[in-house]
């Protein structure tokens, strides 16, 4: 941990590139005089796909942040009881966000709702600049030697369920749900996408 938040350029990349790049970084939350840190170990990518709040490029008052500057927090309320926290990716005008699903180092921070509950994240933090290092931010980190990325399908959704856009670190206790079949297939073969690839529709 560097103690300094990641800069804007880190987040200004395609969503499917940012998602796995976030694994191993540190999500930080200021609570009064204290700072709570959890290591990001599970994420999901959302673009304008069928499961996204910005599907087919539709803008609403709720999702406008997803179309804005990279490196901001998108926090929404779901099922009438839970908050979920996302990191905005992409260039301005292109929808893309990475859902934070699991942390190591903080008790009961496995799953997006539990993660938000553990760090006291709610709508007050919707639209917060994650590069400012004020209330909520992300610090650099790295994957440990031998840690493997698993790529599998997203969970808790009804549309676009076949897209393998969930990423997690194999063996991390903060992962909300393991996919043992995907671990056997992908954990040793997955490679991050190149910047010059066409962004998925």
Please give the Cα distance from 49 to 10 (Å, whole number). 23
What's the number of domains the chain is made of? 1
Instruction: Let me know: does 185 contact 53? Beta carbons within 8 Å.
Output: no
Q: What is the pLDDT of residues 8-43, one digit of tens each?
A: 999 999 999 999 999 999 999 998 889 999 999 999
Domain assignment present for 181? yes
CATH number for the domain that contains residue 136: 3.10.300.10
Place of tokens 């031998």: 146
Please give the Cα distance from 150 to 144 (Å, whole number). 14
| Tens of pLDDT, residue by residue, the chain (201 residues) | 557 999 999 999 999 999 999 999 999 999 888 999 999 999 999 998 877 887 877 888 888 999 999 999 999 998 778 999 999 999 999 999 999 999 999 999 999 999 999 999 999 999 999 999 999 999 999 888 888 999 999 998 888 888 999 999 998 999 999 888 888 875 544 455 554 443 443
Range of the domain at 41: 8-186
Domain assignment present for 16? yes
Burial class of residue 11, CB neighbours in 10 A (0-12, 13-18, 19+): buried
List the one residue out of 54, 27, 43 whose CA is nearest residue 119.
Answer: 27
Q: Would you state the structure tokens that stand for residue 186, as one six-digit string?
A: 């992908």
Domain assignment present for 107? yes
Domain assignment present for 48? yes
Domain assignment present for 17? yes
Mean pLDDT score across all residues of the chain: 88
Domain assignment present for 63? yes
H-only helix segments in the chain: 8-11, 15-21, 112-119, 180-186
Give the model's pLDDT for residue 193. Answer: 52
Give the model's pLDDT for residue 28. Answer: 97
Give the model's pLDDT for residue 190. Answer: 46
Domain assignment present for 191? no
Total-model pTM? 0.89
């Amino acid at each position: 941990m560097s103690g300094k938040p990641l800069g804007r350029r880190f987040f200004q990349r395609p969503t499917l590139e940012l998602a796995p790049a976030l694994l191993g970084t540190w999500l930080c939350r200021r609570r009064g005089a204290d700072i709570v840190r959890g290591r990001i170990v599970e994420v999901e990518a959302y673009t304008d796909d069928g499961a996204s709040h910005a599907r087919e490029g539709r803008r609403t008052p709720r999702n406008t942040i997803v179309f804005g500057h990279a490196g901001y927090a998108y926090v929404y309320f779901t099922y009438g009881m839970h908050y979920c926290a996302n990191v905005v990716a992409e260039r301005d005008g292109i929808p893309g966000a990475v859902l934070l699903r699991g942390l190591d180092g903080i008790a009961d921070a496995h799953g997006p709702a539990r993660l938000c509950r553990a760090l006291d994240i709610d709508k007050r933090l919707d639209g917060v600049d994650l590069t400012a290092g004020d209330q909520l931010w992300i610090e650099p980190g790295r994957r440990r030697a031998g840690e493997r990325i698993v790529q599998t399908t997203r969970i808790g959704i009804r549309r676009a369920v076949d897209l393998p856009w969930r990423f997690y670190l194999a063996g991390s206790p903060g992962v909300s749900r393991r996919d043992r079949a995907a671990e056997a297939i992908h954990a040793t073969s997955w490679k991050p996408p190149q910047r010059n690839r066409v962004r998925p529709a």
